[in-house]
A and B are shown apart, each in its own frame.
Chain A
Amino acid sequence: MATTTLPVYTKKDFQTDQEVRWCPGCGDYAILNAVQSVFPELGIPREKFVVVSGIGCSSRFPYYMNTYGFHSIHGRAPAVATGIKIARPDLEVWVATGDGDSLAIGGNHTIHMLRRNVGIKVLMFNNKIYGLTKGQYSPTSEFGKKTKSTPYGSADQPFNPLALAIGAGTTFVARSVDVFQPHLKETLKKAAAHKGAAYIEILQNCNIFNDGAWLDVTEKDARSEHVVALEHGKPLIFGKNRDKGIRMNGLQLEVVALGNGTPQADLLVHDEHNPNPVYAFLLAQMHDTPGFPTPIGTLRAWENSQYEDVMAKQIHDVIAKRGPGDVSKLLHSGDTWEVR
C-alpha cells in the first residue's frame, strides 16, 4: 500500500481570516479554540473536513474554521450534513449547533440523524437561551425561566438533551464544558474516533443573556462537588476529597459517602459500552436530579451499522450481482416494440 504523508498541521491551519463576531467573553471562543486545537491532531487531511451549521450564535462556527463549511438554515444542519455524508462517506462531517437550533426547530432532524447513525459529529452548544434573537427562553431553559418572551416565567418543561439522544439510539453520547479545555479536547478526540453518529452536549456560557447558567458546574470552588467525570472502567467518585460515590440501589442511583461503611467496591463502575441504554439514561438524569452531580464525559459509546455504509454496501452488492448499470438497457427495459 502506498503511504501518503500528511502535512503537519497546527491550530493556525484551521483558522480563517474572518473576524470572529461573538460577544467578548462568549463560551463559543473556548469551543472554537478546542476544535481548532484538536482537528490538526486527528491525522486527517484538512480538505476532508466539512463543518455544517444551522442558525444561531453557535452556527457562525463554520466561518471561523478553515475547512469546507456550510452555514445552512435554522435547524436543518443535520439534514444537510446527512446529504453530505451519504454522498461522500470519505468526508469528516461535523455539525455545530445550539439548544434552539438542534432541539426546537431542528429537533426532528436531530433525532432522525441520530437514530440512523449517520457518521456525523454534533457539537451542541447548550447555553439554555436564544442568544442571536436576544434573549428568549430555549427548549433547555429551566421551568419558570423569566425571559423577554416569558416575563411571567416559562411554562415548558425542558428537554434533557442527552436523555433525548440516548432515546434516539445515538451510538456516542457525551457531555463536556466550554471552560474545561483538556476535557473538551479529549471528548472531541473520542467523538472523532467513534464510528457512527456522535452527540456532544457542550455546556456553554452566554455571558450576555444567560450569564452563569452553568456556574454550579464551572465555578472553581464548587466544581468538584457538582461534577462527576465519567471514565470507562472506573468507579463513579466525586467530591473535593473524592469522598463521594454513586451506586445502584434497585433501579435508582444514589449518592453515598465513602468510608462510612460503604466500600468503593459497592460503587458503580462506569461502562460506556453497556449494551443496555437504561444505564446511560440514568446517568443522563443525574444532572436534573437535586443532590446529584452532573456527569461529564462519555455516557454511552456502542457500535451499530452506519447508515452511509449500508447504503454504499447495497450499491456495491447490487453491482457485484448484476454488473454496473447500462443506460441503454435501462431505456429498453420492459416490453419494447419496433415501428418500421
Chain B
Amino acid sequence: MGTLIESPVHGHKRETIDQAVIRFAGDSGDGMQITGNQFTNTVALYGNDLATFPDYPAEIRAPAGTIPGVSGFQIHFASGQVYTPGDAVDALIAMNPAALIVNLSDLKRNGILILNADSFTEGDLRKAHLQSNPLEDHSLDGYRVFPVGLEKLTRAALAELGLDAKSMDRCKNFFALGMCYWLYNRSMESTFRWLDHKFQHKPLLAEANKLAMRAGYSYCEATEAFQVSYEIPPAKLTPGMYRNLSGNQALAMGFVMASQKSGLTLFLGSYPITPASDVLHELSMYKNFGVLTFQAEDEIAAVTSAIGASFAGALAITTTSGPGMSLKSEAMGLAIAVELPLVICDIQRGGPSTGLPTKTEQADLLQAMYGRNSEAPLAVLAPATPGDCFWMAFEASRIALKYMTPVIVLSDGYLANGAEPWRIPELRDIPEIPVHFATDPETFKPYARNPETLARPWAIPGTPDLEHRIGGIEKQDVTGNVNYEPLNHEHMVHLRAAKVEAIAQEIPELVPAGDPDGDLLIVAWGSTYGAITGALGTARAKGARIGHVHLRYLNPLPRNLGEILRRYRKVLVPEMNLGQLSMILRAKYLLDVQSYSKVQGRPFKQAELEAKFEEVLAER
C-alpha cells in the first residue's frame, strides 16, 4: 500500500504508490498520441519502467466527436518491472463523451476520471449515442469524476496571446497533460524542451502550449479538485544509459547498425502501409548514414527494387504489413531462387484483406513460413519486445548476409507503436558482420557452396571477370546455368531447405523462464512476451510449476526445443491467431500442444493469461 505524506502545497497529500496505468482518450484530432508520448518521455526520464499502448482508429479524421474517431494512448509505469501496458486503467482522461463511452469499461472502480466538461454538450452527447448526460445521470457513480472545462480554462489561460479560438482549443490537450504532471508529480521540463524544438519556427505556438500546460498544472495545485497526488519512485533497472524506444524506431536503428557493422549501404524499398510506414519515415531521415530509401510505386516494386539493390551489393530490406506481404510473395520466391540476402519486415495487423489496419495480430506466421509457390523456405525471426526489434533487425541482417538468404522479421502493430525504456548497448558489444564479396575469377562459380553455411558466393556487378547471370529459372548447382534436369531440381530443392536449416547451428539454445520442468510449458512468440512474463510470475507465486520459452527464431527453430517440450506435462501456446505456431509444433514434434487463441485486434491481457494458466493447470 502507498504511504501518505503532506505535500508542500497546503491541503494536498502525496501518496507513494508502486505503479499506475493511465489512458488519454479523445478525438483523433485532439493530439492524444502526442500527449501520451510526452507523458511517456517524462516518465521514462524520471526512471520508471514502462510500457505503452497507442490505440488509434484507421480513419485519419473521422467526424469530430464520434465513436469511430476516438484515439487512445495508454501507459503503464512503475517502480518495479513492467511487462505490459496494463489490463485496467487507474486514470482515464476523456476529451469528449465518445472517448468516455469507448474507454470507460477499462477504468477500475473508483478510478480517476478527468473529463472535458466543455464537450458534454447536447451535440457531442448525441454523436456518442448518449441519451442522457453522464455528468448528471449518475452513470459515473463509483468513479472519482473530475469534470474540468478544458476549453474555457485553456482559452482563459491563453487570452493574452492573441491566438484565434481554434488555435487556443488545440492547446487543451496540454492543459490536460499539465494536470497529469501535477497528479503524478512530474516535471514539465522535458515537454517544454520538446515544444521549443517542435515549434522552433512558431515560437507563439510553443508559448501557447507551455502556458496551457502550466495552467493545467496550476489548476490542480490551486483548486481543491484533487485531494491526493501520486509519487511513483524510479524503478531498479539494470544500470546503464536508457532511452525510450518504439518497435518501429528500433527496427530502423537495428538496420542502420547492421549497415555500419557490415560496411554495406542500407537500401530500403518500401510502400506506405500501416503500421509499417514509420520504419520508412525513420530511415528516410538517416541520410548521413548513406541510407537509401526508395518509396516504390507498389509493394512488388518495393521488394523487387530491394532484390536489385542486393544483387548490386547493398544490405537490402523491405518493410510492409500483411496485405503487402501477400503482394511480395512471388518476389520472395525469386530471392530464394537467386539466393541473395534480403530482409523482409512484416509489421502484422488484423486481417484478412484490409482487415484492421491499426490493430495488432499475429496471424501471418503461416504465410511467412509457407506463403510462396513451391518449396520456398526462408528464415523467420520474431522480436519479443519493442527494444528487441533492434536486435532482431540486426540479427536478420546478419543471417541474410551470412547465408545468402531472405529473412522475414515478424513484428506487429503492438510492438511497432508500443514503447519501452531500452538500455542502450555499448558499441563494442555489437559484433561486426563480416561480408566477403567474390573477386577471384579463377575459383568463382555463381552457385558454388560454402560447406559450413551452404551459402553461394556474392559477386557484385563492377567486379572484373565475374560476369554471371542469375534468375528465377531453376539453376544448376555450382555453375548456376539454367537447368531443367529432374535430379538437379530435386537436389536444389533439398539444398535450399538445408541451407535454411543450417542456420539452426548458431541459434542459441533455449533456456525456459520460470521452472525448467514441471506441469505446464508456455510456448509463444512475438509481442505476447510481456503479458506472458507477467502472468508466469503470478502463477509461480501461487505455486504452479510452470515454464516459458519465447521463440525469437521461428524458422529454423532452436535445436533443443523438442527436448524442452517433453520436460513438461502440458504445453500451451497463446497466440493472436487461431493456433498457427501450435500447428507447426504439433506437426514437427508430434505433441498434443494446446492452443490459446485471441483475435480481437488487441493484445492479451495479463489477467486473461493468468486465468488460462490456472484453468489448464487444473485440468487433469
CB within 8 Å of B: which A285-340 residues = 311, 314-315, 318-319, 322-325, 327-328, 330-340
Chain A residues positioned under 8 Å from B312 (CB to CB): 50, 83-84, 87-88, 91
Chain B residues positioned under 8 Å from A63 (CB to CB): 469, 471, 482
Nearest chain A CB to B327 CB, angstrom units: 11
* A337 & B242 in contact (Cβ 8 Å cutoff): yes
Whether a CB of chain A sits under 8 angstroms from the CB of B104 is: no
Nearest chain B CB to A35 CB, angstrom units: 15
Nearest chain A CB to B269 CB, angstrom units: 6
Whether a CB of chain B sits under 8 angstroms from the CB of A108 is: yes
With A70-B471, A87-B309 in contact, do A323 and B288 touch (Cβ < 8 Å)? Answer: yes
With A83-B305, A83-B307, A86-B267 in contact, do A69 and B470 touch (Cβ < 8 Å)? Answer: yes
Whether a CB of chain A sits under 8 angstroms from the CB of B462 is: yes
Roughly how many angstroms separate A36 CA and B472 CA in the complex, as a whole number? 24
Say which residue of A67, A69, A84 sits within 8 Å of B308 (CB atoms): A84
Chain B residues positioned under 8 Å from A71 (CB to CB): 469-473
Roughly how many angstroms separate A82 CA and B302 CA in the complex, as a whole number? 10
Chain A residues positioned under 8 Å from B331 (CB to CB): 73, 76
With A76-B301, A319-B287 in contact, do A339 and B47 touch (Cβ < 8 Å)? Answer: yes
Whether a CB of chain A sits under 8 angstroms from the CB of B468 is: yes
With A91-B462, A339-B242 in contact, do A327 and B472 touch (Cβ < 8 Å)? Answer: no
* A330 & B256 in contact (Cβ 8 Å cutoff): yes
With A18-B481, A70-B469, A86-B294 in contact, do A318 and B265 touch (Cβ < 8 Å)? Answer: no
* A340 & B301 in contact (Cβ 8 Å cutoff): no
* A109 & B297 in contact (Cβ 8 Å cutoff): yes
Name the residue in B239, B287, B291, B316 with the highest tally of chain A Cβ atoms < 10 Å from its Cβ: B287
0 or 1 for each of B289-306: is its CB under 8 Å from A? (1 = yes)? 111101011101100111
With A47-B463, A325-B289 in contact, do A83 and B471 touch (Cβ < 8 Å)? Answer: no
* B305 & A80 in contact (Cβ 8 Å cutoff): yes
Whether a CB of chain A sits under 8 angstroms from the CB of B263 is: no
Roughly how many angstroms separate A86 CA and B481 CA in the complex, as a whole number? 27
Whether a CB of chain A sits under 8 angstroms from the CB of B163 is: no
Chain A residues positioned under 8 Å from B61 (CB to CB): none
* A73 & B330 in contact (Cβ 8 Å cutoff): yes
Whether a CB of chain B sits under 8 angstroms from the CB of A242 is: no
Nearest chain A CB to B237 CB, angstrom units: 5
0 or 1 for each of B435-462: is its CB under 8 Å from A? (1 = yes)? 0000000000000000000000000111
* B269 & A83 in contact (Cβ 8 Å cutoff): yes
* A109 & B301 in contact (Cβ 8 Å cutoff): yes
Closest residue of chain B to A112 (Cβ to Cβ) is B297
Roughly how many angstroms separate A335 CA and B46 CA in the complex, as a whole number? 11
* B289 & A47 in contact (Cβ 8 Å cutoff): no
Chain B residues positioned under 8 Å from A335 (CB to CB): 41, 44-45, 190, 243-244
0 or 1 for each of A195-236: is its CB under 8 Å from B? (1 = yes)? 000000000000000000000000000000000000000000
CB within 8 Å of A: which B457-506 residues = 460-473, 481-482
Chain A residues positioned under 8 Å from B414 (CB to CB): none
Chain A residues positioned under 8 Å from B338 (CB to CB): 70
Size category of the B interface is 35 or more
Whether a CB of chain A sits under 8 angstroms from the CB of B240 is: yes
Whether a CB of chain B sits under 8 angstroms from the CB of A46 is: yes
Roughly how many angstroms separate A48 CA and B463 CA in the complex, as a whole number? 8
Closest residue of chain B to A81 (Cβ to Cβ) is B308
Roughly how many angstroms separate A337 CA and B48 CA in the complex, as a whole number? 11
Chain B residues positioned under 8 Å from A91 (CB to CB): 312, 461-462
Nearest chain A CB to B240 CB, angstrom units: 6
Say which residue of B46, B269, B304, B461 sits within 8 Å of A50 (CB atoms): B461
Chain A residues positioned under 8 Å from B294 (CB to CB): 82-83, 86, 311
* B287 & A86 in contact (Cβ 8 Å cutoff): no
Whether a CB of chain B sits under 8 angstroms from the CB of A180 is: no
Whether a CB of chain B sits under 8 angstroms from the CB of A169 is: no
Name the residue in A47, A79, A315 with the highest tally of chain B Cβ atoms < 10 Å from its Cβ: A79
Roughly how many angstroms separate A319 CA and B291 CA in the complex, as a whole number? 11
Whether a CB of chain B sits under 8 angstroms from the CB of A22 is: no
* B463 & A87 in contact (Cβ 8 Å cutoff): no
* A47 & B462 in contact (Cβ 8 Å cutoff): yes
Whether a CB of chain B sits under 8 angstroms from the CB of A68 is: yes
0 or 1 for each of A81-104: is its CB under 8 Å from B? (1 = yes)? 111111110110000000000000
Roughly how many angstroms separate A315 CA and B265 CA in the complex, as a whole number? 12
Whether a CB of chain B sits under 8 angstroms from the CB of A45 is: yes
Roughly how many angstroms separate A153 CA and B471 CA in the complex, as a whole number? 35
Nearest chain B CB to A108 CB, angstrom units: 6
Nearest chain B CB to A103 CB, angstrom units: 15
* A47 & B465 in contact (Cβ 8 Å cutoff): yes
Chain B residues positioned under 8 Å from A73 (CB to CB): 304, 330-331, 334, 472
0 or 1 for each of B275-289: is its CB under 8 Å from A? (1 = yes)? 000000000001111
Closest residue of chain A to B260 (Cβ to Cβ) is A327
Whether a CB of chain B sits under 8 angstroms from the CB of A72 is: yes
Whether a CB of chain B sits under 8 angstroms from the CB of A52 is: yes
Nearest chain A CB to B283 CB, angstrom units: 11
Whether a CB of chain B sits under 8 angstroms from the CB of A117 is: no
Return 13 A-B CB contacts under 8 Å, by A number.
A68-B467, A70-B308, A71-B469, A73-B304, A83-B269, A84-B311, A109-B304, A319-B287, A332-B241, A335-B41, A336-B424, A337-B241, A337-B242
Known: A71-B472, A78-B301. 8 other contacts (CB 8 A): A68-B469, A71-B469, A84-B311, A87-B314, A88-B313, A319-B287, A327-B289, A332-B243
